[in-house]
A and B are shown apart, each in its own frame.
Chain A
Amino acid sequence: DGGITQSPKYLFRKEGQNVTLSCEQNLNHDAMYWYRQDPGQGLRLIYYSQIVNDFQKGDIAEGYSVSREKKESFPLTVTSAQKNPTAFYLCASSIDGLAGVRDTDTQYFGPGTRLTVL
């Protein structure tokens, strides 16, 4: 089965700790994305990567970091600098991250990780 997996489903963190959220896809997609979802706020883009070894900041990148060493993996680290990290985090991918491409712009989402800071 092709798809996007995120782990863990639920994650608890103490204040001041860094934590890494996993995102893996076996769809052979070039582009991957991380979003944060808060109640009543919709989704906001944290980081995205159009291709391996390249990534760009989204609208709310402060306090987060990413890496893209492999095509199928795009882990997100929530650092202690993120002041309000409790949220639902969603990973997505699309065939081609290049601008102006048509159907390949469609993004497909993983099941999400709910992070709670204690």
Chain B
Amino acid sequence: AQSVTQLDSQVPVFEEAPVELRCNYSSSVSVYLFWYVQYPNQGLQLLLKYLSGSTLVKGINGFEAEFNKSQTSFHLRKPSVHISDTAEYFCAVLNYGGSQGNLIFGKGTKLSVKP
């Protein structure tokens, strides 16, 4: 069964520093990949997604992620973070070609940006 691992539960970083949030998935079958952001007491907002094509995906708020099939990874990066990026980030994987409804989420990474 597919599983998603977000290697860091918390990532503290100073403002204007670069950040990478790591995500690995288990199954090598064809997948769609997503990153969502959640601000306190709110729903999830889609940051970016990989469906096909270029392995470097650009999203909102200056974030980007790179799909690496051989390493089954989809790490999220931002070259310079702001205080407003403080939130929880979730990586999610959907296997296509099978039954629908199975968007598998990682346990989340809390990004804390300090001044």
Contact = CB atoms under 8 A, between A and B. Distances in A.
Contact of B96 (A6, A43, A99, A110): A99
Interface in A12-66: 31, 33, 40-45, 48, 50, 56, 58
A42 B101 contact: no
Interface residues of B, number: 29
B87 to A, nearest CB: 14
A72 interface: no
A57 to B, nearest CB: 9
B94 interface: yes
B100 A112 contact: no
Interface in A80-118: 90, 92, 97-103, 105-112, 114
A45 B103 contact: yes
Interface stretch (B56-64, B69-77, B105-113): B105-113
Given A105-B94, A109-B44, A112-B42, A99 B100 contact: yes
Interface stretch (B12-20, B45-53, B78-86): B45-53
Interface residues of A, number: 32
A33 B32 contact: no
A48 B97 CA distance: 17
Given A48-B101, A105-B94, A112 B43 contact: yes
17 contacts: A4-B43, A31-B100, A31-B101, A33-B103, A42-B4, A42-B107, A43-B105, A45-B101, A90-B43, A97-B100, A99-B100, A102-B32, A105-B32, A106-B34, A106-B49, A107-B103, A112-B42
Interface of A: 4, 6, 31, 33, 40-45, 48, 50, 56, 58, 90, 92, 97-103, 105-112, 114
